[in-house]
Amino acid sequence: MSELINSSLRDLSAALAARRVSAVELATLFLDRIDRLNPGLNAFIALDRDKTLAQARAADESLKVGGGATALTGIPLAHKDIFCTRGWRTSCGSKMLENFVSPYDAHVVEKLAAAGMVTLGKLNMDEFAMGSSNETSHFGPVKNPWDVSCVPGGSSGGSAAAIAARLTPAATGTDTGGSIRQPAALCGLTGLKPTYGAVSRYGMIAFASSLDQAGPMAKSAEDCALLLNAMAGFDPRDSTSLERPAEDYARDLEQPLAGLRIGLPKEFFGDGMDPDVRAAVEAALGEYHRLGATTVEVQLPNSGLSVPAYYVIAPAEASSNLSRFDGVRYGYRAPEYADLTEMYSRSRAQGFGAEVKRRILIGTYVLSHGYYDAYYLQAQKIRRLIAADFVEAFKNCDVIMGPTSPSVAFAFGAKSADPVQMYLSDIYTISTNLAGLPGMSLPCGFGSNAMPVGLQIIGNWFGEAKMLTVAHQYQKATDWHTRMPEALK
């Protein structure tokens, strides 16, 4: 049975349907593995065996009856702790919400539970999703299963580490500037950030509302497609959720790639990328040529401005989004204060970590009187230029490819002293968030120190199915996505 830790979601689904394994057995398999391995990884920050097994028993019931079961019924998954989960502590990686038990479910949580999936627990993350290394979590850093002296990436680092260590077959993540794709790359996984508006943000604790998007993280593109089928769809509770007909994201997975035009932005292949990453990405492009695709150079002339534009827009929105954490209705309240202002200022000073405070302060500043036009409005204009570049580029190609991250996973502390160096970890991923485009990362080899390298695919707006096909065909021809850390086998 232990071989099931490496199984695809389709195989797990078949095993459950055939009653070769029960949902309770499957959940127990992973829970036991979490008990054994999580202390060394710190990926899970909330576990509740009773709740998990109750959900698994319910899944077994519906599998027995048959009628209510879906392709995902009985399959375990875990949620990034940014998703409100009724009855579960939902901390967003922050001391501010250390004692917050959510009274409601996020849309994504609701939909995956409705599909019959079983929640194993909640996953560690950078505090309020602000970070690229998982070092900003109040609950301590997550370790990269490929090398525990290295970061797993962030902010969905707990999700990535848990899947890489086979503590869960799948997880949810969120991506504001690369928070699904970068940890997927650094942990050797497949992760997808959908088009903005494809997945409801309801119940997902907001970092930067115009950029945040939830998506699946798993071992393969096919798994991601199945998960996205359950996660996506219109939600009237989110004004930015798009009313589009339901889509089967797995529908084209078996389409061959002959004739596929891959756009290669020259800006993504410049000096910023480490040589080992370049080698792996170029080898992957070679594989795509063998699969019948052609490559074409495209231009994203403003993509160099994406990181600075992002570090105006995201903190601005965050400074406002995080104002609700004031110690009045829920969350941390400082024990001592003289008056109302001090209650606010101390609760927030003590409840938030350094990076979150830094971003709130920057965001407050760029929105403040006299600076709004120069920073915020200017960044919004540059955002349009960046989006317009993509419109042009997609006139000549079907997908865009490049590295996900300029380097493989780095050591703890390597970038934490200099915020700007850390921000540049997301240099290749941020522009898609600004434009609202879908993007994904899939493993394409190993770089220095035998650490995984991620290939990024950027799709056109609503091009998730195309992207997934492009990734799946590559994964049929390669086995990078099946590798797991030797030490954890």
Choose, by CB under 8 A, the member of 60, 267, 326, 398 that binds other proteins.
Answer: 326
Tell me how far apart the alpha carbons of residues 11 and 218 are, in angstroms, rounded to a whole number: 14
Burial class of 381 by CB neighbour count within 10 A (0 to 12, 13 to 18, 19+): exposed
Dist. CA 214–CA 216, nearest whole Å: 7
Report residue 14 CA to chain centroid gap: 27
The answer to the question of residue 67 lying near other proteins (CB under 8 A) is no
- Verify whether residue 323 is a known catalytic residue: no
Nearer to other proteins, 29 or 343 (CB): 343
Let me know if 80 is a catalytic residue. yes
Answer for which of 28, 62, 255, 378 binds other proteins (CB under 8 A) is: 378
Q: How far is the CB of 252 from other proteins (least distance, A)?
A: 23
Q: At what angle do helices 275-290 and 464-477 cross, to 10 degrees?
A: 90
- Looking at residues 174 to 213 of the shown chain, list those that interact with other proteins (rule: CB under 8 A): 196-197, 201-206, 208-211
- Please state the closest distance from residue 158 (CB atom) to other proteins, in A: 18
The C-alpha atoms of residue 172 and residue 123 are separated, in whole angstroms, by 9
Which of 10-18, 55-63, 178-186, 352-360 is the region at the interface with other proteins (rule: CB under 8 A)? 352-360
Residue 1, CA distances (Å) to 5, 19, 27, 42, 74 in order? 8, 13, 12, 25, 15
Interface pick for other proteins out of 364, 412, 414, 478 (rule CB under 8 A)? 364
Alpha-carbon distance of 16 to 63, in angstroms, equals: 8
How much helix, strand and coil, in percent to the nearest 5, is found in the chain? 45, 15, 40
Alpha-carbon gap, residue 383 to 389, rounded angstroms: 10
Instruction: Write out the E strands in 280-435.
Output: 294-298, 399-403
Give how many residues touch other proteins by CB under 8 A: 98
Nearer to other proteins, 43 or 356 (CB): 356
CB of 312 to other proteins, least distance (A): 5
As measured in angstroms, the least distance from the Cβ of 357 to other proteins is 5
Of residues 285-324, which lie at the interface with other proteins (CB under 8 A)?
302, 305, 307-309, 311-312, 316-317, 319-320, 322-324
* Sequence-ordered list of residues with C-beta below 8 angstroms from that of 39, at least 6 positions apart, any chain: none
* Maximum Cα–Cα distance across the chain: 70
CB of 102 to other proteins, least distance (A): 8
Assess 391 for contact with other proteins (CB under 8 A): no
Q: Which of 50, 271, 339, 486 binds other proteins (CB under 8 A)?
A: 339
Residue in this structure with the two tokens 């599998």, named with its chain if needed: 63
The tokens for 296 are 């074409």
Q: 236 to 255, contacts with other proteins by CB under 8 A?
A: 236-240, 242-243
Under rule CB under 8 A, residue 30 binds other proteins: no
Given the residues 102, 132, 155, 303, select the one marked as catalytic. Answer: 155
- Whether the ω angle into residue 239 lies within 30 degrees of 0, i.e. cis, is no
Stretch that binds other proteins, among 21-29, 58-66, 252-260, 428-436 (CB under 8 A): 428-436
Q: Restricting to residues 430-489, which ones interact with other proteins according to CB under 8 A? A: 433-436
Smallest distance from other proteins to CB 484, Å: 33
Q: Which is nearer to other proteins, 60 or 212 (CB)?
A: 212
Applying CB under 8 A, among 106, 160, 230, 457 the residue interacting with other proteins is 106
Please tell me whether residue 103 binds other proteins under the rule CB under 8 A: yes
Q: Compute the radius of gyration of the chain from its Cα atoms.
A: 21
The catalytic residue among 13, 91, 179, 303 is 179
Residue range at the interface with other proteins (CB under 8 A); choices 221-229, 250-258, 363-371, 402-410:
363-371
**155 is known as an active-site residue:** yes
| DSSP type of residue 260 | P
The tally of CA atoms less than 13 A away on the side-chain side of residue 12 is 32
Out of 14, 349, 391, 411, which residue is the one contacting other proteins (CB under 8 A)?
349
Q: What's the gap between Cα 205 and its chain centre?
A: 14
Catalytic (active-site) positions: 80, 155, 179
